[in-house]
Structure 1
Amino acid sequence: MAAAAPFVATAFDGVASAATGGDDISPANLELVTLTEDRAVITWYTGYTGSDDGLGRMVPAPADGEVRWGTHPGRLTRVATGLSSHTPYHYVELTGLEPGRTYYYQATSHGKPVPPTAFTLIKGNAVGTSDYGLDGTGPYSFTTPQPPPGRFLFSIALCNDLHMGETQAGLVGGQPQYIGIQQEPGLPPYPEVMLESLVQDVTALGADYLLAAGDISAEAVPLDLSQAHKLLGRFGAYRDDYFVTRGNHDRAHLGDPYAHCRAGQWQGNDCFADRFFPAQLDRTYFTRTLNGLRVIGIDTYDKPGNGGDSGALSPDQMAWFRDQLHRDQDRPTIVFGHHPLVVQDSAFPITAGNSLDATQAATILGDYARMPGLFLHHAGHTHRNKRTISPLAPRVTQQEVAAAKEYPGGFSLLRLYTGGYALNFYKSRSELARRWSERSRMEILGYWPQFALGASVADRNSVVRHDLSGLRPHHRGHHTSHGHGGKQHMSA
């Protein structure tokens, strides 16, 4: 990361400087986060002009906020306001949009237009699906997609990198200028804040299932794994409503905190397996059928190691996985696991530790190419939103989803229809979640958004045609709100 990001000399004395200019307020960090066929979510931040909170950003300043929007840049006649009327952490949802139409919008706070999150290390666009308005102060523009064809079936929340038990975000080994960011004194631990909000939000959106793709914990401490299990349990029943896989942070460990857990297959004591796979001995991977959809969960750190090297499947798991892929190849199928198969287009250097073992990844992609039913591979680990289509398996979307525990802090909602699917990223939206998300955006000296948000709106929002007519609608139980499929949504 140091090779890509220029060194920025900033005095971090932990004390916010006084607000200047008569407590003048400035908005910043405009982002078009979510874009579906009928709604858009827009976020930004307001702070005291010229101030420094000790992390290199403005001191948070509560302010008004609104978005004026319409179908012509000169006639922004509709107005939307946010979740909170007076906040530094603005979250505005535009509703009633029409599929396939181009819209223009202008966000303002304290009478000032909000500038976009700046991309200086990468070529990208944080605020629209076109470059309209980027050469000035807006308005900015987006075009809504067409919905997937056919009838809505059910939806699945995709998340990863919960890191329960973590106390500092953004640490980079060997780089002292990259300070770790901690939660504000007196507030709850940020992994709990973010997971609590995530569960509330996916429930309100009507998700029928939830998949958590690894790094459930910071270091697999039993208490942290139990807390993750408890908070995820607010969504529903484990292995009926929600499912998890192992990440490198969830590997077996040595030491007193782990002494009462069963012996790990490769090293140490495996508390993750005790908590989430108690009846499966050493098998921490699985397949499950949900309303006709085959879901394959893989353990991408089924190996010895310290967590910093590349992921890999054990020989036994690799044989099992390939056997699963070769069966019933036309059945609609998704795979989820922690490490991506490939990592491309990063603002920071890409190392072997970013992804799965290259030889295994090539073999898996070859198998994917022969599976007409497989349409999605969900991964975490990189803590970013990135959509990749490999020429080796062009029918399969490989979707990296940003970390749940830090900026941009959220999840993706997969909506399945008989003729295809939509995949949309949402920031977790409670007041404390938005507060921590904006604080943690200052990781890597403030360069973190250029990696984590996604270089384009399409990296976090996409629609794909695929024959899913063999799936069955979900018979809803405790999840009573139907999200976009049932035309009920979280209110703005």
Structure 2
Amino acid sequence: MAAASPLVANAAFSGGVAVASTRRDDVSPANLELATLTEDRAIITWYTGYTGSDDGLGRMEPAPADGAVYWGTRPDRLNRVASGLSHHTPYHYVELTGLEPGRTYYYQARSNGKPVPPTQFTLISGNAVGTSDYGLDGSTGPFSFTAPQPPPGRYLFSIALCNDLHMGETQAGLVGGQPQYIGIKQVPGLPPYPEVMLESLVRDAGALEADYLLAAGDISSEAVPVDLSKAGQLLTKFGKYRSDYFVTRGNHDRAHIGDPYAHCRVGQWQGNDCFHDQFFPGDEPTYFTRDLQGLRVIGIDTYDKPGGGGDAGALSTDQLAWFRSELAKDRDQPTLVFGHHPLVVQDSAFPISPSSSLDAGQAQIILQDYARTPGLFMHYAGHTHRNKRTISPLAPRVTLQEVAAGKEYPGGFSLLRLYTGGYALNFYKTRSDLARQWSERSRQEIMGYWPQFALGSSVSDRNIVGARDLSGLRPPGTTTITMTTVTVASNLSAGRHRDTGGADGARLRR
């Protein structure tokens, strides 16, 4: 698609660079985005670079600059000022606090004395900077958003949702062997980007006081034991495995053939299954049910099949029968399902293929079961590396939520907050210095088109509020957490250790 649109491609590839100037003291801002919007805060990000320069990836070379957001309740009176995590940086991250639910606000971000233009959508209709189109007819704002109402009822607990960590990957943005899609590597001398992103993700989730963490597949790049082990080490900084955090398999975590895998168990379908050894030792299956404070969490293995990873996901016959049986046990219990492949994929700027989702026949069966399960309110998935909220007519009460990859732009996780009367889901970009640097560098994937797919075409693709009766759930600390699988049932300690030290680990409010 990109190759067939040279005029659009050139505009996107320039990354907003004003080609008239190359002076090193001339700095321009770009890529304004409203990443997070809750009932009481908003997080706004952008980038600054040397005007007219090119770093070889089609964007301006990074240039440190000042940055602030001017905001208020009237477009002609932006009387409040918020500064960012860093006072002089190319990678700007500014949080507005003290918002009133239901109120409309206007804002303009500025760096080096210049207003910041928004990330442009040329392939799709979308809005990266607000909940209304106010200000989009120009390029400098002010732009507008309305703070949502909080979910009804009393706050209970929260869960961080992340996926596509790709530990061991060294080059991002390689798609289907397409020669025009040049992979992007980490800056020489810096730590591997999957480690940078996961370290920040775990730290940020802890700082936001997430009680649990779900990692929905593609934990590794190619299931090499050392990479799976490293992912486990970093995730354990959040808490205890299968008590505080849980994982499912993605297609990259499938069993492989070759010397690096020779010491792992023989895979059920092919090769040697190192993922199974790392996260589901013994005779445990790679799918499970957990009860978290009354919330039934079902983790499914969406690559429980033979294959090379580039085809549609699927559950084995045994797993599908087990899954349907689990759903039928207590249809009214509040339930969250998570797994790597989405059930359906819609509204993409890029071609959609069968490999984008679960097997279509299985997806239809599952959605029909979801329609008969009143307590199920969300199916969360990764794989597509984008933020997207979908509602299927087959199960209209269930939110089908895709969450962007943890390992690349926009680089982060979603925080699911549960209340007695509903839930809120908010996407957070990871915020360490190195994470923000890599996230901005990797936005140039797919010839610079990646943001039009990965960010989410609207603020509501990554920030939602839903009303549901969750009054049967309990806050953490009131009971122990129980664990059940097909073959195992036991209680696990709920103790945990959180590494939230340092400036990047400073406590954030929900």
Q: TM-score range by the shorter chain?
A: over 0.9
Q: Deviations over 1:378-408 (max 9, x none)?
A: 0000000000011110110000000000000
Aligned position for 2:287: 285
Aligned position for 1:392: 394
TM-aligned CA deviation for residue 21 of structure 1: 2.9
Counterparts of 2:229 and 2:495, CA distance in 1? 25
Aligned position for 1:64: 66
| Runs of 4+ off more than 3 Å | 1-10, 476-482
Alignment partner for residue 266 of structure 1, among 246, 264, 269? 269
Gaps of 5+ in 1: 483-487
- The alignment's TM-score, normalised by the length of structure 1, stands at 0.95
Alignment of 1:124-143 (within 5 A): 124-136=126-138, 137-143=140-146
Counterparts of 1:18 and 1:249, CA distance in 2? 44
3-state SS in 1 of match to 2:349: coil
1:197 and 2:215 aligned: no
* Alpha carbons of structure 1 residues 203 and 467: separation in structure 2 relative to 1, 3 Å: same
Does the CA contact (< 8 Å) of 2:238 and 2:498 recur in 1?
no
TM-aligned CA deviation for residue 172 of structure 1: 1.8
TM-aligned CA deviation for residue 279 of structure 1: 2.8
Counterparts of 1:459 and 1:201, CA distance in 2? 21
Aligned position for 2:459: 457
Q: Deviations over 1:289-319 (max 9, x none)?
A: 0000000000000000000000000000000
Q: Deviations over 1:70-127 (max 9, x none)?
A: 1010111010000000000000000000100000000000000000000000000000
Alignment of 1:430-445 (within 5 A): 430-445=432-447
Does the CA contact (< 8 Å) of 1:442 and 1:448 recur in 2?
yes
* Alpha carbons of structure 1 residues 305 and 39: separation in structure 2 relative to 1, 3 Å: same
The one-letter amino acid paired with 1:293 is L
Aligned position for 1:485: none
The one-letter amino acid paired with 1:276 is F
Does the CA contact (< 8 Å) of 2:197 and 2:407 recur in 1?
yes
* Alpha carbons of structure 1 residues 413 and 491: separation in structure 2 relative to 1, 3 Å: closer
1:401 and 2:403 aligned: yes
Residues paired across the two proteins, number: 482
TM-aligned CA deviation for residue 175 of structure 1: 1.7
3-state SS in 2 of match to 1:403: coil
Does the CA contact (< 8 Å) of 2:244 and 2:496 recur in 1?
no
TM-aligned CA deviation for residue 19 of structure 1: 7.7
Q: Which moved more, 1:470-479 or 1:362-371?
A: 470-479
Counterparts of 2:499 and 2:255, CA distance in 1? 38
Does the CA contact (< 8 Å) of 2:131 and 2:146 recur in 1?
yes
Alignment of 1:293-372 (within 5 A): 293-372=295-374
* Alpha carbons of structure 1 residues 35 and 414: separation in structure 2 relative to 1, 3 Å: same
3-state SS in 1 of match to 2:268: coil
TM-aligned CA deviation for residue 177 of structure 1: 1.4
TM-aligned CA deviation for residue 174 of structure 1: 3.4
3-state SS in 2 of match to 1:324: helix
1:38 and 2:56 aligned: no
Q: Deviations over 1:456-489 (max 9, x none)?
A: 000000000000000001129657899xxxxx95
Does the CA contact (< 8 Å) of 1:481 and 1:489 recur in 2?
no
Q: Deviations over 1:155-179 (max 9, x none)?
A: 0000000000000000122321110
Alignment partner for residue 145 of structure 1, among 143, 148, 157? 148
Counterparts of 2:45 and 2:496, CA distance in 1? 30
The one-letter amino acid paired with 1:320 is W
Aligned position for 1:98: 100
3-state SS in 1 of match to 2:70: strand
Counterparts of 2:241 and 2:377, CA distance in 1? 24
Counterparts of 1:444 and 1:357, CA distance in 2? 26
- The alignment's TM-score, normalised by the length of structure 2, stands at 0.92
Aligned position for 2:220: 217
The one-letter amino acid paired with 1:175 is Q
Counterparts of 1:77 and 1:71, CA distance in 2? 9
1:167 and 2:170 aligned: yes
Gaps of 5+ in 2: 14-18, 478-493, 501-505
Alignment partner for residue 383 of structure 2, among 381, 384, 387? 381
Does the CA contact (< 8 Å) of 2:240 and 2:496 recur in 1?
no
* Alpha carbons of structure 1 residues 19 and 433: separation in structure 2 relative to 1, 3 Å: farther
Q: Deviations over 1:348-388 (max 9, x none)?
A: 00000000000000000000001110000000000000000
Aligned identity (percent) is 79
Counterparts of 1:287 and 1:68, CA distance in 2? 47
Counterparts of 1:216 and 1:450, CA distance in 2? 24
The one-letter amino acid paired with 2:321 is A
The one-letter amino acid paired with 2:202 is V
The one-letter amino acid paired with 1:32 is L
Does the CA contact (< 8 Å) of 1:247 and 1:301 recur in 2?
yes
* Alpha carbons of structure 1 residues 425 and 5: separation in structure 2 relative to 1, 3 Å: farther
* Alpha carbons of structure 1 residues 295 and 22: separation in structure 2 relative to 1, 3 Å: closer
* Alpha carbons of structure 1 residues 6 and 22: separation in structure 2 relative to 1, 3 Å: closer
Counterparts of 1:445 and 1:479, CA distance in 2? 41
1:245 and 2:258 aligned: no
* Alpha carbons of structure 1 residues 190 and 105: separation in structure 2 relative to 1, 3 Å: same
* Alpha carbons of structure 1 residues 491 and 82: separation in structure 2 relative to 1, 3 Å: farther
3-state SS in 1 of match to 2:386: coil
Aligned position for 2:424: 422
> What RMSD over aligned residues (CA atoms) do the two structures have, in Å?
2.1
Q: Deviations over 1:295-349 (max 9, x none)?
A: 0000000000000000000000000000001110000000000000000000000
Does the CA contact (< 8 Å) of 2:2 and 2:447 recur in 1?
no
The one-letter amino acid paired with 2:399 is T
* Alpha carbons of structure 1 residues 222 and 370: separation in structure 2 relative to 1, 3 Å: same
Q: Deviations over 1:232-265 (max 9, x none)?
A: 0000000000000000000000000000000000
The one-letter amino acid paired with 1:34 is T
Counterparts of 1:173 and 1:431, CA distance in 2? 31
Alignment partner for residue 206 of structure 1, among 204, 209, 233? 209
1:52 and 2:54 aligned: yes
Aligned position for 2:490: none
Counterparts of 2:374 and 2:419, CA distance in 1? 17
* Alpha carbons of structure 1 residues 22 and 62: separation in structure 2 relative to 1, 3 Å: closer
Does the CA contact (< 8 Å) of 1:4 and 1:347 recur in 2?
no
Counterparts of 2:240 and 2:159, CA distance in 1? 14
1:490 and 2:492 aligned: no
3-state SS in 2 of match to 1:93: strand
The one-letter amino acid paired with 2:442 is S
